[in-house]
Amino acid sequence: MRIHEISPRGWVPDQGDGTYRNPIIFADYSDPDIIAVHDEFYMVSSSFNHMPGLPLLHSRDLVNWTIINHVVPSFDWPGYDRVQHGKGVWAPSLRYHDGKFLVFFSTPDEGIFMCQAADPFGKWTVPHLVRAAKGWIDPCPFWDEDGRAYLVHAFAFSRSGRKHLLQLFRMAPDGTRLLDEGRIIIDGTVDHPTLEGPKLYKRGGYYYIFAPAGGVENGWQSVFRAKSIDGPYDDKIVLHQGETDINGPHQGGYVELESGESWFVHFQDKGAYGRIVHLQPMRWVDDWPVMGRVSPGSGGESGKNGEAGEGELGDGVPGTRELGECGLGERAPVDREIGECGPGARELSENKLHKSGPGEPVDRWSKPRTRAALSGSGDGNPDIPQTSDDFRSATLGLQWQWQANPRAEWFKLQPEAGSLRLYALPLPDGCERLYDTPQLLLQKFPAPAFNATTQLTLERFTPGSRAGLVVFGRQAMALLLRPLEDGGGLLEQVASESGQPDAIVGAVAVNSAEVVLQVAVQEPGNCRFRYSLDGGRQFTDIGEPFIAEKGVWVGAKVGICAFEEDRTSRSSQASREGRPAVPSRTACSDSGSTPCADFKGFDIRVI
């Protein structure tokens, strides 16, 4: 393989026969929320301390998604120029109201914020503080038919001392402020512990709050409904793991299509891979949402918490077409006519919908009947969230995020050369390890198994400079190259975690300041670093294999870095040369003496 042969593909959920497989995004898009605007779809997710924050994705069929923007380029509040593990943007809600797109989100220590835009692809307003508060999380706005506006949120026990509760406020119609002191409308302590992530809707005369409960790894999706927005609310569990491998299926949002279908998007906690995104068929029975497929062996009437009921709907045979499901031995529509199934989809024998009990996540299903699907315009090469980058654009790919507010002097794109230059600037004062380094450029793990490869060349490096490939989590692992006096380099596998000094796991001398670096990842996160000195034709293992770890509320990430480890050496050298220890933006862009590392492409190949 040549590193300049950048692969464009990753995890593809679209099966090309009118069906899709879950997850629809095998990457850490935590706490997703979605909306439909004229049968086009938009999704936001949590981004925590990673910047730019609040990734915004777009789809025309609910299955194939691509990143189109970030709502928050940086978070200009005190402290966010440094790495704030697990802080930052939590559980956003996305809405379209009065001709504008709005995102509400919380930060656990500062409060509830709102951003808005007329064009989701364009520039969003800077975060506006709706209400300062500590531990108020997961806000969701709602506008009623009478013009009144509301906001519901949950609590983080670690900051507020409260949990299991949902609180409702009157809100100014423009979403800029809350109008009262709020009141608790749902207490999930007994039946729905760890209640959070509420999404507020209205349908058919009922107010609905979709809210996950039971915890991230083992919880379920609850739904509450009432005739008055103030309650009292009845409740049901509508989605749970059941007999599937999909743990904790919950926290997301639902949309209704012009075709009449309803669909629910949620996450699954997948350890090092983060909170990956699933799509569930959904219907309404007796004014309750019904999600997923029938639980095997279910029976009996539905109870308060949604035990599976009798009378399964959609028995897998032609004729039951409420959601376009196809039976055993059939395939989804090829001519886009509603109710027409053809041969082929052998794995759809479980395409059944339960009546009212808690559903189970589907593995494979007929694609939603969106406008794009029914017109055939969604066919062709499906979209996926961006991964590989040839660095030939004037801007960084939207898949990249820094560990803190980005600084322009950290990097320079060189499109004509197809490379990205990272400057080896000193670590900030108080930053003693790779784990707390802000200038790590990372992206999400994109699939169960993949190789990530980049070609690295050192320029003007000092003995204290380092650059290389990073796998980041609660324990970060990096393959870093530093220069030797003979013109070669030393490749080191470095382990880094909170509160501990960085440790060298393995090292090898190479006779070049140019090397191709690679990490091979296999499910469930087994990793091995490799290097090549012949342009990527042959690779040699280095160091010790390791298991990728998730970070604080996030999955593992992979990417690149360059930094100056020895501040004293760098400062004295800078003084001798008569220039500042931390170069200015102009100096970094044009200086002939600033240590830097050129990365020629970053290629991710799903295997």
> Rounded mean pLDDT of 586-605?
76
Q: At residue 375, does pLDDT exceed 90? A: no
Provide the token pair at 239.
């989605």
Per-residue confidence band for 331, with pLDDT thresholds at 50, 70 and 90: very low
Predicted confidence at residue 355, as pLDDT, reads 53
DSSP letter string, 18-64 = SEEES-SB-S---S-EEEEETTEEEEE---BT-BSEEEEEEESSSSS
Q: At residue 300, does pLDDT exceed 50? A: no
> Rounded mean pLDDT of 217-239?
97
The letter for the amino acid at 129 is L
Q: At residue 575, does pLDDT exceed 60? A: no
> What tens digit of pLDDT does each residue of 260-291 get?
999 999 999 999 999 999 999 999 999 999 99
First to last CA, the chain: 14
| 196 counts as catalytic | yes
What fold is seen in the domain 28-296?
Answer: Tachylectin-2; Chain A (2.115.10)
Predicted confidence at residue 39, as pLDDT, reads 84
Catalytic position from the list 196, 235, 269, 360: 196
What fold is seen in the domain 401-606?
Answer: Jelly Rolls (2.60.120)
Q: At residue 100, does pLDDT exceed 60? A: yes
| 31 counts as catalytic | yes
Name the residue ranges covered by the structural domains of the chain: 28-296, 401-606
Q: Apex CA 373: angle with CA 372 and CA 377, to 5°?
A: 50
Helix (H, G, I), strand (E, B) or coil at 90: strand
Chain position carrying tokens 């996030």:
554
Catalytic position from the list 31, 360, 564, 603: 31
> What tens digit of pLDDT does each residue of 499-553 get?
999 999 999 999 988 899 999 999 999 999 999 999 999 999 999 999 999 999 9
Predicted confidence at residue 374, as pLDDT, reads 84
Chain position carrying tokens 């983080």:
156
pTM for the model = 0.88
Burial of 530 (0-12, 13-18, 19+ CB in 10 A): buried
Q: Give the C-alpha distances (Å, rounded to integers) separating 226 from 112, 207, 223, 241, 269.
A: 25, 5, 10, 26, 30
